[in-house]
Amino acid sequence: MTETMRPPVAEEADGASPLNRLRLIRWSDFSLVPVILVLMVIGFIVSPVFLTSSNLISVVQQSSELSLLVLGQALILICGRMDLSLESTIGIAPVIAMWLVLPSEGGRFAGLDLLPVWMAIPACLLVGMAIGAVNGFLMLKLRVNGFIATLGMLTMLRGLHIGITEGKSITDVPESFRYLGKTDWLGAPAAVWICLALFAIGGAALAWLRHGRSLYAIGGNPEAARAAGIRVDRITWIVLALGGLLAAFAGILYTGHYGSVAATQGNGWIFQVFAAAVIGGISLKGGRGTLFGALTGVLTLQLVVNVMTLGGVPALWNQFLNGAIIIVALVISRFASGEKQD
Amino acid sequence: MEQQQRAPAAVHAEGIVKRFGPTVALDGVRLTVRPGESHALVGRNGAGKSTLVSVLTGLHRPDAGEVTFGGEPAPPFGDTSAWQSKVACVYQKSMVVPDLTVAENLFLNDYGVRGSGSGARRLISWRGLRRQARDLLAGYGVDVDPDARAKDLPVEQRQFVEIARALSFGARLIILDEPTAQLDARGIQRLFDKLRELRGQGVAFLFISHHLQEVYELCTAVTVYRDARHVLTAPVAELSKAELVTAMTGESAGTVTAWHAARAEATDAPDPAAEPVLKAEALALDGEFEPLDLAVRPGEVLGLAGAAASGNTALGETLAGMRTATSGRISVRGRTVKPGSVPHALDAGIGYIPEDRHRQGLVLDRSVAENATLTVTGRLGPWGTVLPSRTREFARAMIESLDIKTQGPEQPVSGLSGGNQQKVVVARALARGPSALIALRPTAGVDVKSKDSLLGVVRRVADEGSAAVIVSDELDDLRVCDRVLALFHGRVVASFGSGWNDRELVAAMEGVGERE
């Protein structure tokens, strides 16, 4: 009888017609696509500038750094955890990297001159990974509450950032940062291509890699995952480190693009990150959501800001409208998907 | 008795119809529970029991039909407090707030401020609240400290608190939905004693259980539903067990116990000289069980019987790698298994069916295919990939061989019935073709037919030359075993061959009449 337990070698297509499978797709993952289309129509009506390639490219360019944080956060949320400190990582990781490579005298910012300049990017990524790993240590080994632990980390890293830079912006950005932030590939900024590639890799990993797929099991029911032989703590830890790494990489792109690191780099982003993830269909309780959904969440938020700017809404009202948009988008996606957001 | 027959029924439901979209959940069913009666409602999963409970407690509005309580029509739909004064349901999952005291739970959202008679008091009088709670509990003969935190109470006492709370609202009908699922035999006895006592005070009970033995022990009448229809209502005393099972399944009882026959053929299969597949030497876990040795030979099913605190569950979890043993070693086919690591246990060939499918068994949001292949993701594609086509094929083979009722491999597990969910858990354990299968209460909360097929699967695994261990306190689960060890307070107190009788085994699990 054991033979029947193993998959038959050749399988006749019976119950699994493509149509049958189509019925079981989670349409909620696509609930923001019509919203994006509507926004584009509104944008086109509001201003003829909207549909120009330079405007659209600037929208996706501005989305790229945020989307990397959302990518990291989405993976962490699917695992059933959260990491608030990503918004500080995007600032502190490039600062520490530059601090290590910049010469101790000559520039406006005195570095330590410990590492060669080509080490700037690897050092920055390592710092991000280390922050994620420390978060993992706090949550998984010491079993402290992840929300408060990463909130503490957020505050502490912001303070460290201000302490190291003495509250000033650093403008001596290494050439490697500049290259990644400013180059165009095939008519669009390199950052955009890199983001798309990372989302594609992430989505593929969640769909077709055993460790990627196990994230859903871990977030959905960690005990069941453990009973099925998944190394829950190890994988969660890796995902947290990966989240830090992505945040650090976002920091490189952002720093390179603007040619400086402000003391407030990333300040307040975490709200946008969570908003984008949740309206994109990622459950805060873990185990549910897709990276495609998360990406549509980012695009929705950025398009709204863009359309409002083109529509001549005074910048002073941006913050108010941003908050309002998040709430409206939440309500729309709640009813579009028909699922509770918890 | 005469008087009770004439008094209006505690609840009377007639011609109840309830549809959910195209599905008919209740098709003109009826039910009558008399005051002071324990009435059992039985039926296989999907028979419509839970829908009827929702209708009777005012959670669902029936599409047709009429419900009366004590002769009066049911309160309007949505008037929660009116429903509360008529009927209450004690669910499988406890509805008390674990971190509040018993007194607070009893007067939740009331706190004796309203309705205490002493006028418009605004502040909570804690002393008064405790006194009221004590009086209330004493009135129903419930011996629970009102200052204790609800989470510190044993399960059956928590149920007493819930029942007392319902009675304090004026309800004279209590619905018990699988109340014994989380209880050990002693707790069940205490619960039943209490129920009989309350019945003497005129409280009526509607008792929903998969456990037919309990129906015979406690109830005076039984109603059977099958496929959303009413099949029969009869006094328990006039109905044999076989007739009851026939009414539930619509089949003759002979086929239902097919695995007994399978077991009989296999009795001589375990060869005493064969090298044991699964071996535990001086295995111990502090606070749970004392050092013990186990050896399970190929083709053998070993039963580990024991009540809730006997340590048999902990032993099962330790064998599966969910817990790390304090000392001793486990080996499969002579190879030592790294303690406390599920991946190593899996690699060594140990398959694990966890105790609680919601807690450890399933990721409810995910598909049948994904849940069934959770342990074999490494075999579904090259270089760590998991190919959807192979996953589906694998799942379809599992669905077929275990007869899982599902729309297809892509359906989320949350949409399956309890018995079929459990089959998915079993599929996950069998996916690797284990050489030793550890099953913890494999039939908890599933219907009679699924129960038989699940136990049949365990038996089959053993008959194919693997070893199987069943950890349970259900006599029906233990009947498939070739050998049963009874645990009590972390020690093996008795060992039985296949010819044990119920009384001996129950006595051993309860720590009375130790043998050996």
- Which CATH number goes with the domain that contains A307? 1.10.3470
Provide the residue type at B462 as one letter: A
Domain segments of chain B as ranges: 2-97+172-255, 258-363+433-509
pLDDT, mean over chain A: 86
Fold match, B2-97+172-255 / B258-363+433-509 = yes
* Radius of gyration of chain A from its Cα atoms, rounded to whole angstroms: 22
When pLDDT is averaged across residues B88-98 and rounded to a whole number, the result is 76
When pLDDT is averaged across residues B487-494 and rounded to a whole number, the result is 86
- Token pair belonging to A100: 């290590």
Quick one: pLDDT at residue A336? 62
When pLDDT is averaged across residues A266-290 and rounded to a whole number, the result is 88
- Token pair belonging to B248: 């539930």
Of the listed ranges A19-23, A124-128, A185-189, the least confidently predicted one is A19-23
Q: Which residues of B touch A11 (CB under 8 A)?
A: 393, 396
Quick one: pLDDT at residue B135? 86
Q: Please answer yes or no on whether B360 and A227 come within 8 Å at the CB atom.
A: yes
A210 Cβ under 8 Å from any chain B Cβ: yes
Provide the residue type at B266 as one letter: A
User: pLDDT tens across A200-215, in order?
Assistant: 999 999 988 888 889 9
Provide the residue type at A152 as one letter: G
User: Which residues fall within 8 angstroms of residue B449, CB to CB, at 6 or more apart?
Assistant: B44, B249, B256, B419
- Token pair belonging to B145: 């400290």
Q: What percent of chain A has pLDDT over 70?
A: 89
If you measure CA to CA, which chain A residue comes closest to B371? A217
**B396 touches A21 (CB < 8 A):** no
Instruction: Give kind and range of the element (H or E) at residue B66.
Output: strand B64-69
Query: Is pLDDT of B124 > 80?
Result: no
Q: Please answer yes or no on whether A24 and B410 come within 8 Å at the CB atom.
A: yes
Q: Of residues A92 and B258, which shows the higher confidence score?
A: A92
Q: Please answer yes or no on whether A16 and B392 come within 8 Å at the CB atom.
A: yes
Closest CA to A88 of A242, A238, A244, A192: A244
Q: Which residues of B touch A209 (CB under 8 A)?
A: 384-386
Instruction: Quote the CA–CA distance of A201 and A135 in Å, as a whole number.
Output: 24
Location of structure tokens 């972390």:
B490
**B154 touches B183 (CB < 8 A):** no
Phi (first) and psi of residue B430, to 5 degrees = -85, -15
**Burial class of B126 by CB neighbour count within 10 A (0 to 12, 13 to 18, 19+):** middle
- Closest CB to B386 among A21, A209, A224: A209
Q: Hey, which of B237-251, B258-272, B289-303 has the most confident mean pLDDT? A: B289-303
Handedness of CA B336, B341, B343, B345 (dihedral sign): positive
Q: Hey, which of A27-36, A245-254, B27-36, B389-398 has the most confident mean pLDDT? A: A245-254
Largest Cα–Cα separation, chain B: 81
Instruction: Quote the CA–CA distance of B345 and B357 in Å, as a whole number.
Output: 19
ipTM > 0.90 for the complex: no
Name the pLDDT band for B259 (thresholds 50, 70, 90).
very low
Instruction: Quote the CA–CA distance of A57 and B186 in Å, as a whole number.
Output: 71
Query: Is pLDDT of A257 > 70?
Result: yes
Quick one: pLDDT at residue B515? 40
Instruction: Quote the CA–CA distance of A28 and A333 in Å, as a whole number.
Output: 8
Instruction: Quote the CA–CA distance of B36 and B198 in Å, as a whole number.
Output: 8
Q: Which residues of A touch B362 (CB under 8 A)?
A: 221, 224
- Token pair belonging to B66: 């009429």
Name the pLDDT band for B261 (thresholds 50, 70, 90).
very low
Query: Is pLDDT of A217 > 60?
Result: yes
When pLDDT is averaged across residues B81-94 and rounded to a whole number, the result is 80
- Token pair belonging to B378: 């490494």
Of the listed ranges A229-233, B112-116, B221-225, B481-485, the least confidently predicted one is B112-116
Name the pLDDT band for B258 (thresholds 50, 70, 90).
very low
Instruction: Quote the CA–CA distance of B51 and B339 in Å, as a whole number.
Output: 45
Looking at the domain B2-97+172-255, which fold is it? Rossmann fold (3.40.50)
Q: Which residues of A touch B367 (CB under 8 A)?
A: 24
When pLDDT is averaged across residues A142-147 and rounded to a whole number, the result is 92
Give how many domains chain A has, as a whole number.
1
- Token pair belonging to B295: 């050896």
Provide the CA B259 distance to its chain's centre, in angstroms.
21
Quick one: pLDDT at residue B48? 83
Query: Is pLDDT of A150 > 90?
Result: yes
Instruction: Give kind and range of the element (H or E) at residue B465.
Output: none
**Burial class of A320 by CB neighbour count within 10 A (0 to 12, 13 to 18, 19+):** exposed
- Token pair belonging to B74: 């049911």
Instruction: Quote the CA–CA distance of B252 and B263 in Å, as a whole number.
Output: 20
Query: Is pLDDT of B308 > 80?
Result: no
C-alpha distances (whole Å) from B116 to each of B79, B110, B113, B121, B124 are: 22, 9, 6, 9, 11
If you measure CA to CA, which chain A residue comes closest to B351? A228
Q: Which residues of B touch A208 (CB under 8 A)?
A: 381, 385-388
Q: Of residues B354 and B510, which shows the higher confidence score?
A: B354
Q: How many inter-chain contacts (A to B, CB under 8 Å) are there?
A: 118
Q: Please answer yes or no on whether A20 and B408 come within 8 Å at the CB atom.
A: yes
If you measure CA to CA, which chain B residue comes closest to A289? B365
C-alpha distances (whole Å) from B425 to each of B15, B79, B93, B397, B418 are: 37, 40, 21, 15, 11
Quick one: pLDDT at residue B4? 47
Closest CA to B176 of B119, B226, B129, B215: B215
C-alpha distances (whole Å) from A30 to each of A205, A220, A286, A291, B18 are: 19, 21, 19, 11, 33
Quick one: pLDDT at residue B270? 53
A213 Cβ under 8 Å from any chain B Cβ: yes
Name the pLDDT band for B45 (thresholds 50, 70, 90).
low
Query: Is pLDDT of A233 > 90?
Result: yes
Of the listed ranges B220-234, B390-404, B492-506, the least confidently predicted one is B492-506
Query: Is pLDDT of B151 > 90?
Result: no
User: What one-character-per-residue DSSP string does A250-285 give?
Assistant: HHHHHHHHHTSB-TTTTTTHHHHHHHHHHHTT--TT
Phi (first) and psi of residue B226, to 5 degrees = -145, 130
Closest CA to A180 of A121, A260, A253: A253
**Burial class of A336 by CB neighbour count within 10 A (0 to 12, 13 to 18, 19+):** middle
Largest Cα–Cα separation, chain A: 78
Instruction: Quote the CA–CA distance of B321 and B317 in Å, as a whole number.
Output: 6
Query: Is pLDDT of B110 > 90?
Result: no
- Alpha helices per DSSP H over A79-209: 86-101, 120-136, 146-165, 175-182, 190-208
A203 Cβ under 8 Å from any chain B Cβ: no
Quick one: pLDDT at residue A125? 96
Arch. (CATH architecture) of B258-363+433-509: 3-Layer(aba) Sandwich (3.40)
Q: What percent of chain B has pLDDT over 70?
A: 88
Quick one: pLDDT at residue B92? 67
A229 Cβ under 8 Å from any chain B Cβ: yes
When pLDDT is averaged across residues A237-254 and rounded to a whole number, the result is 96
Name the pLDDT band for A237 (thresholds 50, 70, 90).
very high
When pLDDT is averaged across residues B391-410 and rounded to a whole number, the result is 86
Q: What percent of chain B has pLDDT over 90?
A: 10
- Token pair belonging to B257: 């116990």
- Token pair belonging to B506: 């129950």
- Token pair belonging to B420: 């079929």
* Radius of gyration of chain B from its Cα atoms, rounded to whole angstroms: 25
- Alpha helices per DSSP H over B27-174: 49-56, 80-84, 102-106, 126-139, 155-168
**Burial class of A272 by CB neighbour count within 10 A (0 to 12, 13 to 18, 19+):** buried
Q: Of residues B65 and A322, which shows the higher confidence score?
A: B65
User: pLDDT tens across B419-461, in order?
Assistant: 888 899 999 898 888 999 999 988 887 877 888 888 988 988 8
Of the listed ranges A153-157, A162-166, B292-296, B444-448, the least confidently predicted one is B444-448
Of the listed ranges A222-226, B293-297, B494-498, the least confidently predicted one is B494-498
When pLDDT is averaged across residues B332-338 and rounded to a whole number, the result is 89
Residues of the domain holding A280: 27-336
Q: What angle do CA A88, A92, A95 make, to 5 degrees?
A: 155
**B313 touches B471 (CB < 8 A):** yes
**Residue A290 domain-assigned (yes or no):** yes
Helix (H, G, I), strand (E, B) or coil at A72: helix
Closest CA to A189 of A253, A245, A249: A253
Instruction: Quote the CA–CA distance of B245 and A75 in Å, as a whole number.
Output: 49
Q: What angle do CA B458, B301, B211 make, to 5 degrees?
A: 60
Q: Please answer yes or no on whether A209 and B375 come within 8 Å at the CB atom.
A: no
**B330 touches B339 (CB < 8 A):** yes
Of the listed ranges A244-258, B113-127, B348-362, the least confidently predicted one is B113-127
Q: What is the distance in angstroms between the Cα of B133 and the nearest Cα belonging to chain A?
A: 36
Query: Is pLDDT of A7 > 70?
Result: no
Q: What is the distance in angstroms between the Cα of A77 and the nearest Cα belonging to chain B?
A: 15
Query: Is pLDDT of B267 > 90?
Result: no
Quick one: pLDDT at residue A87? 93
